[in-house]
Amino acid sequence: ASEAGERLVPSGFVQEILLDHVITFAPDPRLPRALPARPTPRPLPSGDALPVTRLSASAYEDLRRCPYRFFALRQLRLQAPDELESELGKRDFGNWLHSLLKIFHDMLKTAAAQDIPARVAIINIAAERATQELALSESEFLPFAAIWPRVRKGYLAWLAEHEATGAVFDAGEVWREIPLGPLTLVGKIDRMDRQSDGHALLIDYKTESRSTTAERIKSGQEDTQLAFYAALIEDDTLAAAYVNLGEKEPTKTYAQPDIVGLRDELIEGIRDDMARLEQGAPLPALGEGKACDYCAARGLCRKDFWN
Ligand code: SF4
Protein backbone atom coordinates (compact mmCIF):
# COMPACT_ATOMS: atom_id res chain seq x y z
CA ALA A 1 0.00 0.00 0.00
CA SER A 2 1.09 3.56 -0.54
CA GLU A 3 1.82 5.87 2.39
CA ALA A 4 -1.72 7.21 2.06
CA GLY A 5 -3.02 3.65 2.52
CA GLU A 6 -4.03 3.19 -1.11
CA ARG A 7 -3.72 -0.35 -2.38
CA LEU A 8 -1.09 -0.83 -5.06
CA VAL A 9 -0.43 -3.71 -7.45
CA PRO A 10 2.30 -6.02 -6.24
CA SER A 11 5.78 -5.06 -7.39
CA GLY A 12 7.20 -6.70 -10.49
CA PHE A 13 9.39 -8.93 -8.30
CA VAL A 14 6.42 -10.24 -6.36
CA GLN A 15 4.43 -10.77 -9.54
CA GLU A 16 7.27 -12.81 -10.98
CA ILE A 17 7.34 -15.08 -7.94
CA LEU A 18 3.56 -15.47 -8.07
CA LEU A 19 3.74 -16.43 -11.74
CA ASP A 20 6.32 -19.07 -10.94
CA HIS A 21 3.96 -20.49 -8.28
CA VAL A 22 6.67 -20.29 -5.73
CA ILE A 23 4.19 -18.84 -3.31
CA THR A 24 0.68 -20.24 -3.19
CA PHE A 25 -2.12 -18.75 -1.16
CA ALA A 26 -4.17 -21.54 0.23
CA PRO A 27 -7.04 -21.81 -0.05
CA ASP A 28 -7.58 -19.52 -3.03
CA PRO A 29 -10.98 -17.95 -2.20
CA ARG A 30 -11.78 -17.70 -5.88
CA LEU A 31 -11.85 -21.44 -6.40
CA PRO A 32 -15.02 -23.46 -5.76
CA ARG A 33 -14.77 -25.62 -2.66
CA ALA A 34 -17.09 -27.84 -0.64
CA LEU A 35 -18.68 -26.37 2.46
CA PRO A 36 -20.70 -28.27 5.04
CA ALA A 37 -24.43 -27.67 4.54
CA ARG A 38 -25.96 -25.68 7.35
CA PRO A 39 -29.74 -25.74 6.81
CA THR A 40 -31.86 -23.31 8.81
CA PRO A 41 -33.97 -25.11 11.43
CA ARG A 42 -37.70 -24.80 11.06
CA PRO A 43 -39.10 -22.18 13.44
CA LEU A 44 -41.17 -23.53 16.32
CA PRO A 45 -42.40 -20.63 18.44
CA SER A 46 -45.28 -20.60 20.89
CA GLY A 47 -47.68 -17.68 20.95
CA ASP A 48 -49.07 -17.80 24.52
CA ALA A 49 -47.44 -14.44 25.37
CA LEU A 50 -49.49 -12.77 22.63
CA PRO A 51 -53.15 -13.33 23.50
CA VAL A 52 -55.60 -13.39 20.59
CA THR A 53 -58.66 -11.29 21.35
CA ARG A 54 -60.17 -10.77 17.88
CA LEU A 55 -60.33 -13.30 15.09
CA SER A 56 -61.35 -12.85 11.45
CA ALA A 57 -62.07 -15.56 8.87
CA SER A 58 -58.80 -14.91 7.05
CA ALA A 59 -56.76 -14.95 10.28
CA TYR A 60 -58.27 -18.29 11.26
CA GLU A 61 -57.59 -19.60 7.77
CA ASP A 62 -53.93 -18.64 8.30
CA LEU A 63 -53.84 -20.66 11.53
CA ARG A 64 -55.31 -23.69 9.79
CA ARG A 65 -52.96 -23.53 6.84
CA CYS A 66 -49.80 -22.82 8.76
CA PRO A 67 -49.59 -22.05 12.51
CA TYR A 68 -46.30 -20.19 12.03
CA ARG A 69 -47.90 -17.89 9.47
CA PHE A 70 -50.59 -17.06 12.03
CA PHE A 71 -47.91 -16.37 14.63
CA ALA A 72 -45.89 -14.10 12.33
CA LEU A 73 -48.65 -12.22 10.54
CA ARG A 74 -51.44 -12.17 13.13
CA GLN A 75 -49.80 -12.37 16.55
CA LEU A 76 -46.56 -10.51 15.87
CA ARG A 77 -48.52 -8.45 13.30
CA LEU A 78 -45.65 -8.33 10.86
CA GLN A 79 -47.01 -7.10 7.55
CA ALA A 80 -45.41 -6.33 4.22
CA PRO A 81 -45.76 -2.60 3.47
CA ASP A 82 -48.27 -1.75 0.77
CA GLU A 83 -46.45 -0.97 -2.43
CA LEU A 84 -47.49 1.91 -4.61
CA GLU A 85 -48.53 0.02 -7.68
CA SER A 86 -49.76 1.66 -10.82
CA GLU A 87 -51.24 -1.49 -12.31
CA LEU A 88 -54.51 -2.82 -11.01
CA GLY A 89 -54.73 -6.49 -10.19
CA LYS A 90 -57.51 -9.06 -9.93
CA ARG A 91 -57.98 -8.15 -6.30
CA ASP A 92 -58.81 -4.53 -7.25
CA PHE A 93 -61.37 -5.82 -9.71
CA GLY A 94 -62.91 -7.95 -6.97
CA ASN A 95 -63.04 -4.99 -4.57
CA TRP A 96 -64.62 -2.84 -7.23
CA LEU A 97 -67.28 -5.47 -7.99
CA HIS A 98 -68.09 -5.88 -4.29
CA SER A 99 -68.52 -2.10 -3.87
CA LEU A 100 -70.61 -1.61 -6.97
CA LEU A 101 -72.96 -4.49 -6.14
CA LYS A 102 -73.62 -3.01 -2.70
CA ILE A 103 -74.36 0.40 -4.24
CA PHE A 104 -76.49 -1.20 -6.97
CA HIS A 105 -78.66 -3.16 -4.56
CA ASP A 106 -79.10 -0.22 -2.23
CA MET A 107 -80.26 1.84 -5.21
CA LEU A 108 -82.50 -0.96 -6.47
CA LYS A 109 -84.33 -1.09 -3.13
CA THR A 110 -85.89 2.31 -3.81
CA ALA A 111 -85.86 2.30 -7.62
CA ALA A 112 -87.83 -0.97 -7.96
CA ALA A 113 -86.57 -1.42 -11.55
CA GLN A 114 -87.61 -4.82 -12.85
CA ASP A 115 -86.68 -4.81 -16.55
CA ILE A 116 -83.15 -5.39 -17.76
CA PRO A 117 -82.57 -1.99 -19.53
CA ALA A 118 -83.56 -0.09 -16.36
CA ARG A 119 -81.29 -2.32 -14.28
CA VAL A 120 -78.41 -1.86 -16.71
CA ALA A 121 -78.76 1.92 -16.33
CA ILE A 122 -78.71 1.66 -12.51
CA ILE A 123 -75.84 -0.80 -12.33
CA ASN A 124 -73.80 1.47 -14.62
CA ILE A 125 -74.35 4.39 -12.23
CA ALA A 126 -73.30 2.10 -9.37
CA ALA A 127 -70.17 1.11 -11.32
CA GLU A 128 -69.24 4.77 -11.80
CA ARG A 129 -69.75 5.52 -8.11
CA ALA A 130 -67.65 2.55 -7.08
CA THR A 131 -64.89 3.71 -9.45
CA GLN A 132 -64.96 7.14 -7.79
CA GLU A 133 -65.06 5.71 -4.27
CA LEU A 134 -62.02 3.54 -4.94
CA ALA A 135 -60.29 6.44 -6.77
CA LEU A 136 -59.56 4.37 -9.88
CA SER A 137 -58.46 6.37 -12.90
CA GLU A 138 -60.00 5.67 -16.30
CA SER A 139 -56.75 4.50 -17.83
CA GLU A 140 -56.05 2.12 -14.93
CA PHE A 141 -59.49 0.76 -15.26
CA LEU A 142 -59.35 0.07 -19.00
CA PRO A 143 -58.72 -3.71 -18.85
CA PHE A 144 -61.67 -4.15 -16.47
CA ALA A 145 -63.92 -1.92 -18.57
CA ALA A 146 -63.48 -4.46 -21.37
CA ILE A 147 -64.69 -7.35 -19.16
CA TRP A 148 -67.43 -5.41 -17.39
CA PRO A 149 -70.29 -5.70 -19.96
CA ARG A 150 -69.98 -9.49 -19.90
CA VAL A 151 -69.87 -9.69 -16.10
CA ARG A 152 -72.81 -7.28 -15.87
CA LYS A 153 -74.90 -9.34 -18.29
CA GLY A 154 -74.13 -12.55 -16.42
CA TYR A 155 -74.90 -10.97 -13.06
CA LEU A 156 -78.24 -9.43 -14.08
CA ALA A 157 -79.36 -12.74 -15.63
CA TRP A 158 -78.39 -14.54 -12.41
CA LEU A 159 -80.23 -11.93 -10.33
CA ALA A 160 -83.47 -12.41 -12.30
CA GLU A 161 -83.27 -16.19 -11.74
CA HIS A 162 -82.37 -15.74 -8.09
CA GLU A 163 -85.30 -13.39 -7.49
CA ALA A 164 -87.62 -15.82 -9.29
CA THR A 165 -87.02 -18.24 -6.38
CA GLY A 166 -88.52 -15.58 -4.09
CA ALA A 167 -85.20 -14.37 -2.65
CA VAL A 168 -84.90 -10.67 -1.81
CA PHE A 169 -81.75 -8.64 -1.15
CA ASP A 170 -81.62 -7.56 2.48
CA ALA A 171 -78.24 -5.90 3.16
CA GLY A 172 -74.73 -5.68 1.71
CA GLU A 173 -71.27 -5.46 3.33
CA VAL A 174 -72.55 -6.03 6.86
CA TRP A 175 -69.91 -5.71 9.60
CA ARG A 176 -70.45 -8.15 12.47
CA GLU A 177 -68.75 -8.82 15.79
CA ILE A 178 -69.76 -11.63 18.06
CA PRO A 179 -68.24 -12.82 21.36
CA LEU A 180 -66.98 -16.38 21.72
CA GLY A 181 -65.71 -16.72 25.29
CA PRO A 182 -62.86 -14.23 25.73
CA LEU A 183 -62.55 -13.99 21.95
CA THR A 184 -64.47 -11.77 19.50
CA LEU A 185 -65.17 -13.12 16.03
CA VAL A 186 -65.24 -10.30 13.46
CA GLY A 187 -65.99 -10.02 9.76
CA LYS A 188 -67.77 -8.29 6.92
CA ILE A 189 -70.49 -10.31 5.23
CA ASP A 190 -70.80 -9.59 1.51
CA ARG A 191 -74.53 -9.94 1.40
CA MET A 192 -77.61 -11.12 3.27
CA ASP A 193 -80.81 -12.08 1.43
CA ARG A 194 -84.19 -13.20 2.67
CA GLN A 195 -85.55 -16.37 1.02
CA SER A 196 -89.18 -17.07 0.11
CA ASP A 197 -89.62 -19.09 3.34
CA GLY A 198 -88.40 -16.09 5.36
CA HIS A 199 -85.05 -17.65 6.27
CA ALA A 200 -81.81 -15.74 5.83
CA LEU A 201 -79.40 -16.55 3.00
CA LEU A 202 -75.78 -15.55 3.54
CA ILE A 203 -73.87 -14.86 0.31
CA ASP A 204 -70.16 -14.50 -0.32
CA TYR A 205 -69.11 -13.22 -3.75
CA LYS A 206 -66.18 -14.86 -5.49
CA THR A 207 -64.26 -13.60 -8.52
CA GLU A 208 -62.03 -16.68 -8.79
CA SER A 209 -62.36 -19.52 -11.31
CA ARG A 210 -65.49 -21.65 -11.09
CA SER A 211 -63.51 -24.78 -10.30
CA THR A 212 -61.94 -23.08 -7.22
CA THR A 213 -65.39 -22.14 -5.90
CA ALA A 214 -66.75 -25.64 -6.62
CA GLU A 215 -63.80 -27.07 -4.70
CA ARG A 216 -64.69 -24.95 -1.63
CA ILE A 217 -68.12 -26.57 -1.45
CA LYS A 218 -66.76 -30.07 -1.98
CA SER A 219 -64.14 -29.76 0.73
CA GLY A 220 -66.78 -29.12 3.45
CA GLN A 221 -64.90 -28.66 6.73
CA GLU A 222 -61.71 -27.70 4.91
CA ASP A 223 -63.29 -24.48 3.72
CA THR A 224 -63.89 -22.28 6.74
CA GLN A 225 -65.04 -19.03 5.16
CA LEU A 226 -68.82 -19.48 4.86
CA ALA A 227 -68.96 -21.37 8.16
CA PHE A 228 -67.08 -18.51 9.85
CA TYR A 229 -69.51 -15.92 8.46
CA ALA A 230 -72.40 -18.13 9.58
CA ALA A 231 -70.89 -18.01 13.08
CA LEU A 232 -71.25 -14.23 13.01
CA ILE A 233 -75.02 -14.55 12.73
CA GLU A 234 -76.97 -16.24 15.48
CA ASP A 235 -79.45 -18.07 13.28
CA ASP A 236 -79.99 -21.83 13.20
CA THR A 237 -82.19 -21.73 10.09
CA LEU A 238 -79.68 -19.92 7.97
CA ALA A 239 -78.59 -21.00 4.46
CA ALA A 240 -75.33 -19.98 2.81
CA ALA A 241 -73.83 -19.90 -0.68
CA TYR A 242 -70.94 -18.63 -2.73
CA VAL A 243 -71.90 -16.65 -5.80
CA ASN A 244 -69.21 -16.85 -8.45
CA LEU A 245 -69.16 -13.63 -10.50
CA GLY A 246 -67.78 -15.11 -13.69
CA GLU A 247 -65.66 -13.10 -16.10
CA LYS A 248 -65.87 -15.63 -18.89
CA GLU A 249 -68.77 -17.73 -17.70
CA PRO A 250 -72.11 -16.53 -16.32
CA THR A 251 -72.60 -15.86 -12.62
CA LYS A 252 -73.45 -19.03 -10.68
CA THR A 253 -74.58 -19.98 -7.17
CA TYR A 254 -72.73 -22.65 -5.19
CA ALA A 255 -74.86 -23.49 -2.17
CA GLN A 256 -73.15 -24.92 0.92
CA PRO A 257 -75.40 -27.64 2.34
CA ASP A 258 -75.60 -28.12 6.11
CA ILE A 259 -74.01 -24.78 6.88
CA VAL A 260 -75.34 -24.83 10.46
CA GLY A 261 -73.59 -28.17 11.13
CA LEU A 262 -70.36 -26.87 9.58
CA ARG A 263 -70.64 -23.70 11.65
CA ASP A 264 -70.99 -25.68 14.88
CA GLU A 265 -67.96 -27.83 14.02
CA LEU A 266 -65.99 -24.71 13.16
CA ILE A 267 -66.83 -23.04 16.48
CA GLU A 268 -65.69 -26.18 18.31
CA GLY A 269 -62.47 -26.11 16.29
CA ILE A 270 -61.84 -22.44 17.10
CA ARG A 271 -62.38 -23.04 20.83
CA ASP A 272 -59.93 -25.98 20.79
CA ASP A 273 -57.31 -24.15 18.77
CA MET A 274 -57.47 -21.03 20.94
CA ALA A 275 -57.22 -23.10 24.14
CA ARG A 276 -54.11 -24.87 22.79
CA LEU A 277 -52.62 -21.54 21.77
CA GLU A 278 -53.14 -20.17 25.27
CA GLN A 279 -51.47 -23.23 26.76
CA GLY A 280 -48.36 -22.51 24.72
CA ALA A 281 -48.73 -25.16 22.00
CA PRO A 282 -45.89 -24.88 19.45
CA LEU A 283 -46.77 -23.15 16.20
CA PRO A 284 -44.74 -24.95 13.52
CA ALA A 285 -44.28 -23.77 9.94
CA LEU A 286 -46.35 -26.41 8.21
CA GLY A 287 -47.44 -24.77 4.99
CA GLU A 288 -47.32 -26.63 1.73
CA GLY A 289 -47.97 -26.00 -1.94
CA LYS A 290 -50.17 -23.05 -2.69
CA ALA A 291 -50.17 -21.88 0.94
CA CYS A 292 -46.44 -21.19 0.65
CA ASP A 293 -46.54 -19.85 -2.92
CA TYR A 294 -48.41 -16.72 -1.86
CA CYS A 295 -47.24 -16.37 1.72
CA ALA A 296 -46.02 -13.03 3.08
CA ALA A 297 -44.12 -14.85 5.87
CA ARG A 298 -41.92 -16.95 3.54
CA GLY A 299 -38.88 -14.78 4.22
CA LEU A 300 -39.42 -15.23 7.96
CA CYS A 301 -39.99 -18.96 8.22
CA ARG A 302 -36.96 -19.40 5.90
CA LYS A 303 -38.69 -22.27 4.12
CA ASP A 304 -36.26 -22.02 1.22
CA PHE A 305 -33.31 -22.76 3.53
CA TRP A 306 -34.59 -25.72 5.54
CA ASN A 307 -32.90 -28.38 3.43
S1 SF4 B 1 -44.01 -20.02 3.54
FE2 SF4 B 1 -45.26 -21.82 4.01
S3 SF4 B 1 -44.28 -22.74 5.81
FE4 SF4 B 1 -43.52 -20.63 5.65
S5 SF4 B 1 -44.91 -19.41 6.94
FE6 SF4 B 1 -45.70 -19.33 4.87
S7 SF4 B 1 -47.21 -21.00 4.75
FE8 SF4 B 1 -45.90 -21.37 6.55
d(C-alpha 261, C-alpha 236), whole Å: 9
Residues forming a β-bridge with 253: 243
Cis peptide before 67 (omega within 30 of 0): no
**What pLDDT was estimated at residue 26?**
66
**What pLDDT was estimated at residue 86?**
63
**What pLDDT was estimated at residue 21?**
67
d(C-alpha 244, C-alpha 155), whole Å: 9
Cis peptide before 45 (omega within 30 of 0): no
**What pLDDT was estimated at residue 80?**
80
d(C-alpha 251, C-alpha 194), whole Å: 19
d(C-alpha 59, C-alpha 88), whole Å: 25
Pocket test for ligand 1, best of 290, 301, 304 (most atoms within 8 A of CB): 301
Q: Does ligand 1 have an atom closer than 6 angstroms to the CB of 297?
A: yes
| Backbone angles phi and psi of 37, in degrees to 5 | -70, 135
pLDDT tens for each residue of the chain, 307 residues long: 888 888 888 888 888 887 876 556 666 777 888 889 889 999 999 999 999 999 999 999 999 999 999 999 999 999 887 776 666 777 888 899 999 999 999 999 888 777 888 999 999 999 999 988 888 877 877 888 888 999 999 999 999 999 999 999 999 999 999 999 999 999 999 999 999 999 999 999 999 999 999 999 988 778 899 999 999 998 999 999 999 998 888 899 999 999 999 999 999 999 999 999 999 999 999 988 889 998 999 999 999 999 8
Nearest partner of 232 among 271, 267, 272, 265, judged by Cα: 267
Q: Does ligand 1 have an atom closer than 6 angstroms to the CB of 295?
A: yes
Nearest partner of 151 among 173, 130, 172, judged by Cα: 130
Residue 270 C-beta-side C-alpha neighbours within 13 Å? 29
Identity of the amino acid at 273? D
